[in-house]
Structure 1
Amino acid sequence: MSNRTVKYTAGEIGRVRVIEDFLPSPDALVPREDHVKVTLSLSKRSLDYFKREAKKRRVPYQRMIRSLVDMYAEKQEGK
């Protein structure tokens, strides 16, 4: 890093132009689907697998399971 100090002075800064906000809102950046909470019994082996794999990838295991079910449903709808 530089040890130089920047000095600001009073005075004109030149012509200022306001730019219209063109960025999407944070809500538009993260599309959300409606989720429905359900109770589901899984085998211990399956749950351990998802927890282990999710931990490796640093994601919630529930998200991995939901993604698997979503992919399965999409594939079956396309048949």
Structure 2
Amino acid sequence: MATVLRRPAEERGQGDDPRDHCLAPDTPKQFDPVKVRTALREYAFNYKRRTNPEVPIPHEVRVILEWVQRNTLSMAAWE
């Protein structure tokens, strides 16, 4: 089971801990949630598919993944 990284509710809200926002501070309202999950599963988390030069990433998926990259914390925030 994964460890929960969020602080207790009474300690949150100070704006000093990036974990208070989980992975993204905003939800992608401009994208269908199913399409976001699909883009992450089929491309972001799939190295072979993401790096296959013969089959480029579709434009719609690329737009979603670029949004995710801009709006999520880097791994350095978790150290």
TM-score normalised by structure 1 residue count? 0.25
Which is greater in Rg?
1
Could you say which structure has the higher helix fraction?
2
